[in-house]
Amino acid sequence: MYGSRPALEDVSFALEEGGFLVVLGPNGAGKTTLLKTLARLVRPSAGRVWLGGDDWLAAPAERQREIGVLSHATYLYDGLTARENLRFFATLYGLRDPDDRARTALATVGLEDAADRRVGHLSRGQAQRVAIARAVLHDPALLLLDEPYAGLDPRAAARLSAALDALHAAGRTVVLTTHDLARSPAAATRYLVLVEGRARSEGRLPAGDLETIYEDAVAAAGG
């Protein structure tokens, strides 16, 4: 609940393992709240979440390692270098050989040369890449991404899409929220439209003209 107004109401959907869900909606629709609920950052006042057949909300904290979260905020420490940040998170997740994991992750996102620069001195696109590395450092099965395209120039956005497609192709389940239709990745398998906290439309992709579906859903809610 946000103050006395519910942020999300009556939202239900299902996603198969290995699927790629795109959650669309205008600002304030509740996309971030939905993602935070899935990430267990927020407890819903009512409702259940199942992950692989288990009651996710009641699962022990240890199982947080099964998810990776990427937001438009990087969750990184500006005062530490990229390498130090990744080493820190590797230790936090209890990964063996954190130095090695950090090095590999940096190589994967193509930032070896910037590894020892402080995150505060990196460009937005570079910081976002370190954030991606952080999100998948512990090899999670489920990826939750909240408006990851925000603030990225077209080249960085393209690189992000490519990275996401690769991660999805490797068998991970992905949930991504965005308000920018033009930047939703091509590999998405399902979509969900949220307007003012309620689910307006959902279905499989490719699904005809997604833009029209979106506009209609928003219009239906607005009137």
Partner 1 sequence: MGWRAAGAILAKDLRLELRRVETVGTMLVFAVLVATMFVFAGDPTPQDLRRLGPGALWVSLLFAGAIGFGRWFAQEERNQALQGLLVSPVDRAALFAGKWAGATVFLLGIECALVPVTLTMYQLDVRGAWGELALLLLAVTIGYAALGTFFAAVAARTTAGELLLPILLFPLSVPLILAGAEGGQALVEGGRMGDYWSWLSLAAAFDVIFGTVCTLAFEYVIEE
Partner 2 sequence: MSWWPRSWRQFWSTLDGRTYHLMLAARPWIGWLAVGAMTVVFGLVFWWVPLEAIQGYPQKIFYIHVPAAWVMYAAFGVVFVSSILYLWKRTSLWDIFARCAAEVGFLFVTLALVTGMLWGKPIWGTYWTWDARLTSTLILWFIYGGYLLVRAFARPDADVARLAAVVGIVGFLDVPIIHLSVLWWRTLHPEPVVMILDDPGGGLPASMLITLLASLVAVSLVFAWLWIQRVWQERTAENLALLEALLDRRERDAR
Positions that interact with partner 2 (CB under 8 A) = 2-4, 223
For residue 222, the minimal CB distance to partner 2 (Å) is: 10
Rounded (10°) angle between helices 124-136 and 82-92: 20
Scanning the chain, the segments in alpha helix (DSSP H) are 31-38, 82-92, 98-108, 124-136, 154-169, 210-222
- The one of partner 1, partner 2, none whose footprint includes residue 84, by CB under 5 to 8 A per kind, is partner 1
Nearest distance, CB of residue 102 and partner 1, angstroms:
13
By CB under 8 A, what part of segment 128-157 binds partner 1? 134
Q: Give the pair of three-digit tokens for residue 140.
A: 């999670």
**For partner 1, which residue of 61, 96, 154, 171 counts as binding (CB under 8 A)?**
61
CB of 3 vs partner 2, minimal distance in Å: 5
Query: Is 4 or 12 the residue whose CB approaches partner 2 more closely?
Result: 4
Q: What is the sign, positive or negative, of the torsion defined by CA atoms of 167, 173, 177, 178?
A: positive
Binding site for partner 1 (CB under 8 A): 36, 39-43, 61-65, 67, 69, 71, 73-80, 84, 88-89, 91-94, 134
